[in-house]
Structure formats: C-alpha cells, structure tokens
Chain A
Amino acid sequence: MTITAPQFDESQPTVLVIDDSPDVHRLLKARLRHEELDLRAATSGRAGIEAARDQRPAIVLLDLDMPDMDGFEVLRNLKNDPTTVHIPVIVLSGLQSAQDKVTAFDLGAVDYITKPFNLTELRVRVRSALRMHRLVQMLAQRAQIDGLTGLWNRAHFDRRLADEVAGCQRHDRALSLAMIDVDDFKSINDTYGHPAGDAVLQGMARVIQKECRQEDVACRYGGEEFALIMPDTTPAQGMVVCERVRSSLASVVWPRHPERSVTVSIGLAGAVRIRTAQPFDWVEAADKALYTAKKTGRNRSVMTDIDGGSRLAKAG
C-alpha cells in the first residue's frame, strides 16, 4: 500500500517564497540556511501561483505588497484552487495595519510575519507552520486508514473508485475492481473467538498488500470484505493478481488455528475500455461476480467484463 502524501515524512520540506524583491529572497535564504528546508523562489504573483501548483510546497511565504498582482490576489487564487487550497500560507509584509492582517487571515493565511524579519520570530513561525502542516496531513491520512488492518478504509475507497473510474475513462485506460470476501468468516469467529477473526483480517490485509502492485489501491470495504482497485489493468490482468492472492493465502499457516486454512472468494469487474461511469455500478458488478463465486463453491475468482455483457469467467 502506498501512502500518497508527498510531504508527509520528507526531511527537507519545500518552502516557496513569493516576493518581488530579490533582497527578500537573499535574506530569507541566509536566515533559514540552517533549517533543513528546500527554499524555492518566485518573484511575481503569477509565477508564484504556478510554482505552488507545480511544486506543491509544504508552506508558502507570501509578500503582500507586489506590483501587478498583489499578495491578497495571489492568496485568493491559491485558496480557490483545489490543488493548492491546503498549502499553509504565511503572509510577509512591511505593512503594519491591522486591517491587512485581518484580510489575510480571512482569505486563509495561517500566520503573518512583518518585515524587517526578526530572525528568531521568522524561524519559529516557519517551524510552527511546518509542524502544523505535518499534523494536519497525518490526521487527514489517519482518517482514511482502517484501524485494524492498516489498509485504506471505506471512505477512501469510495473517493478513489470514483476518481479512478473517471480518470481511466478519460484517458482511455483499462480498470479492474476486485471484491474479496473471506469464506466462512463467521465460523472462524465462532470457533476460535474474535481475536482469531481479527488476526485473519490482518493476515488477509498483509497477503493483499504483498500480492498487489504499487499502483493498486487495497481497501477494507467492511467486515470481512476487501476491495482492490487496479487502475490501468485489464480484467485478464486483474485475474492474475486475484489468483496470486488466493494461492498466497493457501500457503499461510495461522498461528491460532494451524489446522484450519483460510480461503477467499473474489469477484472481479473490469473493462478494457470504460463505458460504465458510475462507481456504484462497478461495485454492484463486482459483488455479483463475488456472489457467483460463493454460489459455485467458494475459494475461487469470478470475472465479469463490465462493458462486454454478462459473460463470467471463472478460475479456481
């Protein structure tokens, strides 16, 4: 599973400075030299907005008083763009007026530093903004991770599936979605107790993570059901991954019940060219294939081509 938070554990966060004065860039570079920051410079509002979009800095230091496009306008732009809205902005200005500070905060700035810079103040404010940024990112990420298995949770699945269906359709790419359900999970719980059931779910998560590829999105859908989104993957290629999961699972020895192996049934919905644009239809199609896998004896994968009729292919 890949965590897609680019700045999350970077030791050298990128800090973008937007200021028309070369002196300010020079001074900040000297003043923040020992802070382990990757300092980038933009000398106009427009260049700054572009750089923020391209480089996704951890924070932006923004001068208010610039010719052409002033800092307020830049701030408005950054906060109106979904790709830059979450980047914390510290406003830099020589202006002392309280109204400017209020306006900057109203527009979404997180802090305010007045020029000329007080060395200590500048450093602690930058550090504090970076710390806050890391915490917010961590929380945002935690909120999308399933506590028991460490996989993405249902909320993340819903969002990612919608994104991937739309993205793969737009770029004319294949897509596969697998719903993976533990066979007879209730009887494992009933026979060996809930801690053993939890261990099975955790073990399942490890197997799925190990057998899927870097770009695949492994999620806990709910209960004993897992979902695997496979972008840029034809149904046939998706089946290969599913079968890897099944065979890898067969070789797992469970410490709490070595005498009993665990199997899964898998329903896969996929398309080489996507016409079905509703994420809900994808889940339904994969569920239907999963149901067929269960009904025809469990411990198998069943594939359906979501845009090629209801032809089902089986493996296992």
Chain B
Amino acid sequence: MEPAKSPRPIISEFAGDPEMSELVRLFLGELPQRVRALEAAWREQQVQTVARMAHQLRGSSAGYGFPTIGSAAASLEESLRARTEADAQAVLERAAAEFRALVDLCSRACRPAA
C-alpha cells in the first residue's frame, strides 16, 4: 500500500473541547515516539510487543478524539492475536498492510491550524 499522496490531516474530535485540549496536545506530543517504538518492534518481528502497543493505542486514541487511529490499531491487534501456526504467513501479510495504515494515520494526526 502506497502512503497517501496528499496526506489529509486528522484533527481530534475534541479539538473544540477546552477540557481536552491540553490532553490532546500531550497525546500528539508523544505520538511520534510511540510510532517509532511500534516501527522498531515491527522491524524486529516482536509480534507480542506490536500487539500490546496496538492494544494501548486502540484504547487511548479514541479517548483523545482519534477513533480512526483506534480502529486501525484494533484491526492490527486482532489480526496479530488471532494468528495461528497454520495461517501465520497470511496473517502477517494482512497485518503488514494494517500496520502501514496505522502508521500513516498516526503521521497525519495533528493539532488544528490556529
């Protein structure tokens, strides 16, 4: 899968919520580091670690107003957890696409333009 040609930014659903703006800023600040950790684990084929990180992203990103990241993380987590000996290869191919989709979405998450 090619990265989006003209990446559309994703803005938090809570962008207008003053209660949340500080938290969304914190989340966005930490996101690049989380993505780098996710990519490192993926390169080293640490399936369990990737699944755990996806799980955490799944739980938190929707809470910060990024449900699309949440559902991408959920698909990746579920694929990895459902993996069996027999279909390991097929699963990993599907997971690779899900992984790239997740990383792509994360890279597009940003603060609203002032």
Contact = CB atoms under 8 A, between A and B. Distances in A.
Interface of A: 21, 23-24, 26-27, 30-31, 33, 65, 67, 94, 115-117
B47 interface: no
B40 interface: no
Given A65-B55, A116-B70, 19 more contacts: A21-B56, A21-B60, A23-B56, A23-B59, A23-B60, A23-B63, A23-B64, A24-B59, A24-B60, A26-B23, A26-B26, A27-B64, A30-B22, A33-B19, A67-B52, A94-B58, A94-B59, A116-B59, A116-B62
Contacts of A33: 19
A26 B26 CA distance: 10
Interface in B50-87: 52, 55-56, 58-60, 62-64, 67, 70, 74
B19 A30 contact: yes
A101 to B, nearest CB: 17
Contact of B63 (A24, A65, A67): A24
Contacts of B27: 23
A31 B59 CA distance: 15
30 contacts: A21-B56, A23-B27, A23-B56, A23-B59, A23-B60, A23-B63, A23-B64, A24-B59, A24-B60, A24-B63, A26-B26, A27-B23, A27-B60, A27-B63, A30-B19, A30-B20, A30-B22, A30-B23, A31-B19, A33-B19, A67-B52, A94-B58, A94-B59, A115-B59, A115-B62, A116-B59, A116-B62, A116-B63, A116-B67, A117-B63
Contacts of A65: 55, 59
A115 B63 contact: yes
- Which among A33, A65, A115 has the greatest number of chain B C-beta atoms within 10 A? A115
Nearest to A23: B60
Contacts of B67: 116
Nearest to B17: A119
A26 B59 CA distance: 12
Interface residues of B, number: 18
Contacts of B20: 30
A65 B55 CA distance: 9
Contact of A21 (B22, B59, B70): B59
A39 to B, nearest CB: 15
A21 B20 CA distance: 18
Contacts of B22: 30
Nearest to A28: B63
Interface in B16-31: 19-20, 22-23, 26-27
B105 to A, nearest CB: 16
B9 to A, nearest CB: 20
A113 B82 CA distance: 25
Contacts of B59: 21, 23-24, 65, 94, 115-116
Contacts of A24: 59-60, 63
Interface string B4-16: 0000000000000
A65 B51 CA distance: 13
A37 B33 CA distance: 33
B24 to A, nearest CB: 10
Contacts of B19: 30-31, 33
Nearest to B77: A94
A31 B63 CA distance: 10
Nearest to A26: B23
Contacts of B23: 26-27, 30
- Which among A24, A27, A33 has the greatest number of chain B C-beta atoms within 10 A? A27
> What are the 6 A-B residue pairs with the smallest beta carbon separation, nearest first?
A23-B60, A116-B62, A27-B63, A116-B63, A30-B23, A94-B59
A113 to B, nearest CB: 12
B74 to A, nearest CB: 8
A117 B26 CA distance: 18
A74 to B, nearest CB: 17
